[in-house]
């Protein structure tokens, strides 16, 4: 069964637009859980521009489901993960100037580094997922690191405008998931998923967890967070 983890970064972004205390992403997380979300995802960037350590600390105390921390594979981030011990860390590429995570992690090109960060996290009892494109080389490299999960980057599929292109991109994801599972990896997916494009990805065989943020928070502005989460869960199921 595919589950929904709601990415609450977009609530933190709104808070930081004013640099005050509201809206609080932790309150949003608890409401997402009440509406049936199976997990909460947040991305603490090296520059802390959206989510803060305070958000992770409170989430670890209050969340009833699972916390998935997205972070760069950087030595400076390791102490944060080890201190709070979220259920899962998803390693993502990070460029300071980007608006959101733009591409998948280059695991093949940085194998030793990603392997070492993965091992350090696992030594602290944290399971590791690598956010990568559905590319055969990257998937094979991900398996070499010893990470338990990959998160397939769904951005190209979500950006596809024409039906044919969307179909092609979906096939790439289906094949990627298959290759990963054959190598013993478990598979999550996310980035750019919304109420119109989520179902084919949720139906990919063995798909475990979808990390969805922007579309849910955007919809919540109009219909409320409870309804926004429930509508997404209904589509995924």
Binding stretches for ligand PXP (CB under 6 A): 7, 9, 43, 70, 90, 92, 100-101, 131, 151, 190-193, 211-215
Residue closer to ligand PXP by CB (options 131, 149) is: 131
Q: Whole-number minimum distance, CB 129 to ligand PXP, in Å?
A: 9
Assigned token pair, 131: 């956010």
- Verify whether residue 70 is a known catalytic residue: yes
- Verify whether residue 178 is a known catalytic residue: no
Residue closer to ligand PXP by CB (options 138, 215) is: 215
> d(Cα 187, Cα 130) in Å, to the nearest integer?
10
Q: Whole-number minimum distance, CB 233 to ligand PXP, in Å?
A: 15
Assigned token pair, 82: 């080890």
Q: Whole-number minimum distance, CB 58 to ligand PXP, in Å?
A: 19
Closest Cα partner for 225 from 52, 9, 27, 43? 27
- Verify whether residue 191 is a known catalytic residue: yes
Residue closer to ligand PXP by CB (options 30, 188) is: 188
Q: Whole-number minimum distance, CB 188 to ligand PXP, in Å?
A: 8
Alpha helices for the chain (secondary structure H): 9-18, 25-34, 53-62, 78-84, 111-123, 136-145, 155-159, 163-182, 198-202, 214-223, 225-236
> d(Cα 236, Cα 232) in Å, to the nearest integer?
6
The catalytically annotated residue of 10, 50, 70, 219 is: 70
> d(Cα 42, Cα 68) in Å, to the nearest integer?
7
Catalytic residue list: 43, 70, 191
């Amino acid at each position: 069964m595919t589950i929904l983890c709601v990415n609450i970064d977009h609530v933190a972004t709104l808070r930081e637009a004013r640099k005050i205390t509201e809206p609080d992403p932790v309150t949003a997380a608890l409401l997402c859980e009440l509406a049936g979300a199976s997990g909460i995802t947040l991305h603490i960037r090296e520059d802390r521009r959206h989510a803060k350590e305070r958000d992770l600390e409170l989430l670890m105390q209050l969340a009833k489901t699972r916390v998935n921390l997205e972070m760069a594979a950087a030595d400076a981030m390791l102490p944060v993960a080890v201190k709070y011990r979220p259920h899962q860390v998803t390693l993502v590429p990070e460029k300071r100037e980007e608006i959101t995570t733009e591409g998948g992690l280059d695991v093949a090109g940085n194998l030793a580094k990603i392997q070492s960060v993965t091992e350090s996290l696992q030594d602290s009892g944290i399971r590791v997922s690598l956010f990568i494109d559905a590319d055969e080389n990257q998937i094979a490299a991900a398996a070499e690191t010893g990470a338990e999960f990959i998160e397939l980057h769904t951005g190209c599929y979500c950006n596809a405008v024409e039906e044919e292109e969307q179909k092609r991109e979906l096939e790439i994801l289906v094949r990627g998931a298959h290759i990963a599972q054959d190598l013993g990896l478990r598979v999550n997916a996310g980035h750019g998923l919304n109420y119109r494009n989520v179902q084919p990805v949720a139906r990919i065989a063995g798909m475990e967890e979808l990390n969805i943020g922007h579309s849910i928070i955007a919809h919540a502005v109009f219909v409320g967070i409870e309804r926004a989460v429930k509508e997404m869960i209904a589509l995924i199921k």
